[in-house]
A = this chain, B = another copy of it.
Amino acid sequence: MTGATARTILRLRLHFAGGGIIGPGKAELLERIERTGSIAAAGREMKMTYRRAWTLIETMNAMFRAPVVESARGGPGVGGAALIPTGREVLRLYRALESGAQRAGAAEIAALERLARPGPPADGDGDGDGG
């Protein structure tokens, strides 16, 4: 935990004209699939059922012009999964959008933070995510 400002979290969601939404949950899932090579493992890390993780991937595969994840589709524990180019690009762009917004809004975030009541000590909300 570093400093007070590190504890205010900015979350972004991009709502596309076609109805799709990309936000922190889908980005995190893509990131974990890239790292673990498995939809089931990525979902487990996020305390999500395999079915839920797979549904999110299917939503993303349908939302973009090309699929984001390629999978052996064997169900939990079977086969592997990997980000394919569109998935990597979506993740990269989303993370760049996020960090650009953090930088551009640093003054406003700090000012809003000063107006907010101080929180409990880091992780005092018990969810273990530092937030």
Given contacts A90-B115, A105-B97, contact A17 B8 (CB under 8 A): yes
A47 vs B2: C-alpha distance when bound (angstroms): 41
Among A35-43, A50-58, A75-83, A117-125, the stretch in contact with B: A117-125
* Secondary structure call for the A interface: mixed
Known pairs A8-B14, A10-B13, A104-B104; list 7 more (Cβ under 8 Å): A10-B14, A13-B13, A16-B113, A62-B117, A94-B112, A96-B108, A100-B108
Q: A residues touching B (Cβ–Cβ < 8 Å)?
A: 4, 7-20, 22, 62-66, 86, 89-90, 93-94, 96-97, 100-101, 103-105, 108-109, 111-113, 115-120, 122, 125, 130-131
